[in-house]
Amino acid sequence: MGKNPVQKVKLDQIDRRILHDLQADGRMTNVELARRAGISAPPCLRRVRALEATGYIRGYHAELEPKALGFNVSVFAQVGLNSQAELDLEAFEQLVARWPEVRECHMLAGETDFLLKVVARDWDAYQTFLTTKLTPAPNVGHVKSALSIRTSKQIPGVPVTDTGKP
């Protein structure tokens, strides 16, 4: 995930419909997207490119089934650092960005400095990650792990409507 800020551009109803539809199905053809937005294909493609260029659309990806690929465990690790100086926070973020098993990293306000979503093949693999990478990492003071039992809702993105209101 890049840190490109969104350029402030006024979104109209068509832009919002495009964002809504692409978020629901990133593989939708431009022709179908244009049909749904009520415009022709060339201006639709120009709008999509503009939404990409201004940072509203960060990318496209396939949603994979973790268990089908052997990742049977998801763990949320609450990490407390010894120092919250900006350079130390950034150093931790840069380190975590290199660990493929960490799928999400959120800096939090409060007791926990970071919340990490970590995937692993099994509990033993997570414990190996915990003891060889995360816990001994520079500036890590403590880690609390919570095993995810099941996920009942997981929707990427944000609620987008064509009215501009959530």
What are the structural domain ranges in the chain?
A: 13-53, 67-147
pTM summary value: 0.84
What pLDDT is stored for residue 48 in this prediction?
Answer: 98
Selection from 62, 24, 23, 28 nearest residue 45 by Cα: 28
Query: What's the pLDDT score for residue 75?
Result: 98
Please say if the pLDDT value at position 9 is more than 50.
yes
Statement: residue 92 has pLDDT above 50: yes
Fold exhibited by the domain 67-147:
Alpha-Beta Plaits (3.30.70)
Q: With a cut of 70, say whether residue 4 has pLDDT above it.
A: no
**What integer pLDDT is reported at residue 2 of this predicted model?**
45
| DSSP states of the chain | ---PPPP-----HHHHHHHHHHHH-TT--HHHHHHHHTS-HHHHHHHHHHHHHTTS---------TGGGT--EEEEEEEEES---HHHHHHHHHHHHT-TTEEEEEE-SSS-SEEEEEEESSHHHHHHHIIIIITTSTTEEEEEEEE----S----S----TTS--
Closest to 18 measured CA to CA, from 2, 34, 3, 1? 34
Task: Give the tens place of pLDDT for each residue, 25-55.
Answer: 999 999 999 999 999 999 999 999 999 999 9
**pLDDT tens, position by position, 47-73:** 999 999 999 999 999 999 999 999 999
Ranking 62-66, 108-112, 127-131, 162-166 by mean pLDDT, the lowest is 162-166
State pLDDT tens for residues 115-159.
Answer: 999 999 999 999 999 999 999 999 999 999 999 999 999 998 999
23, 56, 89, 156, 157 from 5: Cα distances, Å: 19, 9, 20, 19, 16
Report the percentage of the chain scoring pLDDT > 70. 93
CATH class of the domain whose range is 13-53: mainly alpha
Kindly write down the DSSP assignment for every residue of 76-96, as one continuous string. Answer: EEEEEES---HHHHHHHHHHH
